[in-house]
Amino acid sequence: MTDIFSTFSQSLSTLWMLTTWSDIVEISIISTCFYYTALWLKKDRNTNLLAYFYGFLFFLFAAHGLQLTTLTSILLLFSPSVVMLFMLMHQQLLQRNFVSLKNVTLATQSSCPDWLSAIMKKTLDMLAHNKNILILIEHTDALRPHLAVTEPLDVPITHGIITLLFNTLYDPEYLCWISSTGMLRGINVSFKASWHPHSYQTNNAWVDDAVAYTSQTDAVILYAHADSHQYAIAHQGIIHEGLSMEQAHKLIKKCINYQVPIAQKGYSHGVPKQESLSQRSA
């Protein structure tokens, strides 16, 4: 074991002696470029480009190490095309451009009639894909001064909007911020003053912040657990755990005085009760 260690140390010493300051600068710049490129590709939740990026680098270094000069030359020759292909397939910039359209509000734009049901259905979809989801529902107390928002929004909640944003931009380690009026205010949100400032990487990390902020405001925090497929709700500093989707839905309605649309109360597509009864008697 001592011989192996001494041989390894000798090799490192020799390599260090042969390394010049220009080599260190070049290696640092190239490594930094690779690192930030990998981070950029990792943010895309629509296509798994990071694995293809690593695969391309593996084949390139393997071909160089095995002295396959023809294959190495071909890979280097087509590397600009591969980079362009990654940029075309990468959705992050397109998603940011889409989000920037939030400032253009159409007069006919309105939220889903029952936006809470749309949100709850989306939580079921996230659980089906084994993803946690954490939603902050702002009621009458303003929360913006207390939040750090990565992707600020101000759009009505619709099925199409939440499907697009949750499938592409949302990071399950952060909060999704919505209002009790049916507006999507932001995704990948965190509290500025937090017990866990980086992210909620563990299952119960969100509880400390939830208790602190819901005890001081009338906000509601909904957590859907991918492992147990159960829900937890924080309100007025109390955590309600082990809830089903229906129980969580009812509790949120009660907390924010949610008014169910007429069409959801048993009437036919919002038809007044008198007309509905006359149709039945006919």
Query: CA-to-CA distance for 282 and 272, rounded, in angstroms?
Result: 16
Q: Residue 219's pLDDT band (boundaries 50, 70, 90)? A: very high
Reported CATH class of domain 112-258: alpha beta
The number of angstroms, rounded, from the C-alpha of 96 to the middle of its chain's C-alpha atoms is 13
Percent of the chain at pLDDT above 90? 19
Structure tokens at 54: 């690593």
Structure confidence at residue 51 (pLDDT): 78
Q: What is the mean pLDDT of the chain?
A: 76
Yes or no: say if 203 and 227 are a contact pair by the CB < 8 Å rule: yes
Can you tell me the mean pLDDT for 229-235? 93
Structure confidence at residue 16 (pLDDT): 64
Ordered by start, the domain boundaries in the chain are 12-90, 112-258
Can you tell me the mean pLDDT for 14-24? 69
Tell whether the model's pLDDT for residue 18 goes beyond 70: no
Q: Residue 96's pLDDT band (boundaries 50, 70, 90)? A: low
Query: CA-to-CA distance for 83 and 214, rounded, in angstroms?
Result: 46
Q: Residue 84's pLDDT band (boundaries 50, 70, 90)? A: confident
The one-character DSSP state at 265 is T
Query: CA-to-CA distance for 2 and 78, rounded, in angstroms?
Result: 46
Can you tell me the mean pLDDT for 74-94? 73
Residue in 213, 207, 209, 174 with CA at minimum distance from that of residue 195: 209
DSSP bridge pairs for 147:
191
Percent of the chain at pLDDT above 70? 70
Alpha helices by DSSP H, listed for the chain, are 2-18, 21-42, 49-65, 69-89, 92-99, 115-128, 159-168, 206-216, 245-256, 273-281
Structure confidence at residue 101 (pLDDT): 43
Please tell me the least confidently modeled range out of 69-73, 128-132, 237-241: 69-73
Pick 120 or 274 by higher pLDDT: 120
Tell whether the model's pLDDT for residue 74 goes beyond 80: yes
Give the tens place of pLDDT for each residue, 161-176.
888 888 888 888 889 9
Q: Residue 244's pLDDT band (boundaries 50, 70, 90)? A: very high
